[in-house]
Structure 1
Amino acid sequence: MHKLDTKLIQLCKKGNEVAQMQVYDKYAQAMFTIACRYLINEEDAKDAMQEGFLKAFVNMDSYKPDATFGAWLKRIIINQCLDVLKKRKIEFSNDEVENLKVVDDDNWDFDNSISKQNILNAIEQLNEKHKIVVQLYLVEGYDHEEISEILEIPIKTSRTHLRRGKLKLQELLKVKYNEARY
């Protein structure tokens, strides 16, 4: 972390509002982009982002420099978005988990002709439960243990939703890829 960032964080910990505004200005656009991945409505995303910043500033003492400030803040923003979704009662069920075998979560090879934007657009088309787990896993880089903790679901359920989301994603992208070949 740059000396300037360290100084800003120290000032934020002391409640310095000018420093807080500078931190907000520096990270707001990136955090808004992240919030929009979870909450379709831009106003909801903006509200969640701002709530997340408020929580971050109130809990600055819990920030430890072993992680980047951006990563710490991103987790708060994601959790805030997930809280909004939970209030809407998106249920993460444990349906049919017992009969599934574990699949290779790391094999996310996409055809080179498929752009990152096409993949992100396809993720948007997944049902809410699968979309959230796929985003947390593929886009944010969380593992099943972390997803399980964040969403308060068993690891097996996280794996199930990821597997189903991955299959649907491959199906959506296969259609897109086949269309592009004609």
Structure 2
Amino acid sequence: MVRILPLYTQEAQLVKALRKADPKAQRMLYDKYASRMLGVCMRYVGDQMTAEDILVEGFMKVFDKIEQFKSEGSFEGWMRRIMVNESLGYLRQRKRLQEDTILDEAHGIVDDTALADQSLEASEMMDMIETLPTGYRTVFNLYAIEGYSHAEIADMLGITESTSKSQLHRARALLQQLVKNWEDELKKKEIYEKASS
């Protein structure tokens, strides 16, 4: 019996086929990475339909710019950077970052303490991150999830490093408050269940 290997099993073969604009390779790439890259876009824009639009634009850019991938480092990381840049481009077009930055200056600083509870699920934390104002969420994602420095974030968003640090600080403080509220609700529920039994 002849075993048929999946088409383009090696990343290098896939990239080579993408450089030839092979539609099967493009489809395979989309099928393999679409859900992960959609998650990246969602973290920045917080809206499913908008994130899907950005995802499509991002993949079009991946296909158009494939020659720029030099096979140094992760191909997925290279694609992720394109998706992040597309998301940031969307936010810049809508000028939502600038509006949040102006609002940010008007708010008082809340004490920053470490996010805590081990029982908080990752999906619940991601839901909390999605509720942050756009500027806070963007800086938090770039710094805490994508691993960019404040200098890189400032350059990408056209803000100062101190604004990046300030927005990160306030995002963490707001997340801390959201976690505390979640913990308080959990305690109330436990007390109620004990009293009911």
Q: Which residue of 2 aligns with 1:76?
A: 82
Number of equivalences:
176
CA distance in 2, matches of 1:131, 1:40: 9
Q: Normalization by structure 1: what TM-score? A: 0.85
Give the alignment partner of residue 93 of structure 1, picking from 68, 83, 101.
101
Q: Which residue of 2 aligns with 1:136?
A: 142
- Contiguous gaps of at least 5 residues in structure 2: 1-7, 189-197
- More off after superposition, 147-156 vs 26-35: 147-156
Q: Is contact 2:136–2:167 with CA below 8 Å preserved after alignment?
A: yes
- Contiguous gaps of at least 5 residues in structure 1: none
Q: Percent identity?
A: 33
Greater gyration radius: 2
Per-residue CA distance 1:122-163 (angstroms, 9 max, x = gap): 112211111111122222222222222321222211111000
Q: Normalization by structure 2: what TM-score? A: 0.79
CA distance in 2, matches of 1:76, 1:110: 32
Amino acid at match of 1:74: R
- More off after superposition, 26-35 vs 139-148: 139-148
Q: Is contact 1:113–1:177 with CA below 8 Å preserved after alignment?
A: no
CA distance in 1, matches of 2:169, 2:44: 19
Give the alignment partner of residue 161 of structure 1, picking from 167, 179, 191.
167
Return the offset for 1:119.
1.6
Secondary structure in 2 matching 1:110: coil
Secondary structure in 1 matching 2:101: coil
Q: Post-superposition, which runs of at least 4 consecutive aligned residues in structure 1 deviate over 4 A?
A: none
Return the offset for 1:109.
4.2
Give the alignment partner of residue 64 of structure 1, picking from 70, 76, 91.
70
Give the alignment partner of residue 158 of structure 2, picking from 141, 147, 152.
152
Q: Is contact 1:133–1:147 with CA below 8 Å preserved after alignment?
A: yes
Per-residue CA distance 1:56-101 (angstroms, 9 max, x = gap): 11111111222211111011111111111111111163765xxx9x
CA distance in 2, matches of 1:117, 1:110: 15
Secondary structure in 2 matching 1:93: helix
